[in-house]
Amino acid sequence: MKDISIYFAPVALEAGFPAESLGTRVQLHTENGFPAIDQNGVALLYVPEFRNGHPELHRKSDDAFRDAFYSCYPGSGWRGELYDLGNLLPGERVEDTYFALSQVISELVKKKVIPVVIGGTQDLTYAMYQGYESLEQLINVMSIDSKLDLGDPDQPLGKDAYVNKLLMHRPCFLFNYSVLGYQSPFVKQSELDLFEKLYFDTVRLGEFTSNPRIAEPLLRNSDLLTIDLQAIKSSEFLGSYYTSPNGFNNQEMCQLTRYAGISDKLTSLGIFNLLPGAISAAAHNEVAQLIWYFIDGVEQRVGDFPIGSKKDYTRFTVFLDEIQHDLIFFKSNKSERWWMEVPYPPKEGMKYERHHLVPCNKGDYDAALKNDIPDLWWRTYQKLG
């Protein structure tokens, strides 16, 4: 493993965490040294990089969520290692910060340690994405956000303009992009049209509140998840930069991070737009709980992503008259979660192996029984073809 300690400053925490709390068991980067990362687990890192979104915040930071998080107690049966790598030092240029973060993500994911990146503006998603380049595999990215953050092709990279950069990055290793919780007043129709053309997944906030279960398969299908804290309604996340009257509530967001943690496929999480400026203690507590519920989900993983043998799954086959084709579904005997199989060109099999088994809900199987092609199946089929 490359030496990534050069990118970090140590953490100074208040002493005296309660007995048995997370603060007494974390492997922390302090003045005495950097943690030895030698086992699977979760690694926290704070990145105070705001220059491509809020340049007025440059050289400011607020990581009070740490004290709130380390005062919590581990959940039942937690066994994985918990590392805190410290504060990633912003580079002389924003691009230097991106490079450092991409190197950290790459090394941790290779080591099967899940990085949880907290802090800066949403454009850091691009740096996290770059970290997967050395893995040479197609990945799925998901954002919980009130906007699509597409940006124009000639627009500089920024907090609301980074998805275009993911699309244009070469080599391209983005298979799918999903947005959960977008709000129509903040989204151009041309952006929605492009997402539809690319067969990306978009779920309005209203769709989610009407049917929260719609989120779980999307989270289960993601490798990289990023959360924009400005997607939380301002009455539940108090601070100078949080002004939206509508959005997710805190309980919904904690449920989403737990779903994300349970996903065997997900290998990194970003929690962004924690913007210094009169952030309330309650807001820092919310960030702490987002991390807690994510780790609790990771600890509940059952390893049932259906690659290889299907002996632990029940197979269901539905013939659809419209396409004259069988739709094949698998239900895990461990977790009772559902997947559907989407065919792909045989010569491209290895490239798409991780993507032709798509997480779904039982509702997709019920729709197929009524001779309706699930939208998720159709969009995946178009991308595979």
Q: What is the pLDDT of residues 293-320, one digit of tens each?
A: 999 999 999 888 777 677 889 999 999 8
Q: 5-299 domain in CATH 3.40.800.10? A: yes
Find the mean pLDDT for residues 350-363.
75
> Does position 346 have pLDDT exceeding 80, yes or no?
no
> Does position 349 have pLDDT exceeding 70, yes or no?
no
Q: What is the pLDDT of residues 38-58, one digit of tens each?
A: 889 999 999 999 999 999 999
The answer to whether the pTM exceeds 0.85 is yes
Q: What is the pLDDT of residues 185-195, one digit of tens each?
A: 999 999 999 99
% residues pLDDT > 90 (the chain): 79
Tokens of 340: 């559907």
Q: pLDDT band for position 114 (50/70/90)?
A: very high
Q: pLDDT band for position 384 (50/70/90)?
A: confident
> Does position 219 have pLDDT exceeding 90, yes or no?
yes
Chain CA centroid to CA 133, Å: 17
Q: What is the pLDDT of residues 141-199, one digit of tens each?
A: 999 999 999 998 888 999 999 999 999 988 888 999 999 999 999 999 999 999 999 99
> Could you state, in order of their start, the residue ranges of all structural domains in the chain?
5-299, 313-384
The matching CATH number, chosen from 1.10.600, 2.20.28, 3.10.330, 1.10.287, for 313-384 is 3.10.330
Q: pLDDT band for position 13 (50/70/90)?
A: confident
CA distances from 253 to 130, 245, 291, 361 (A): 26, 16, 11, 20
Eight-class DSSP state of 230:
G
Cα separation, 118 vs 85, in Å, equals: 12
Cα separation, 107 vs 377, in Å, equals: 33
> Does position 351 have pLDDT exceeding 80, yes or no?
no
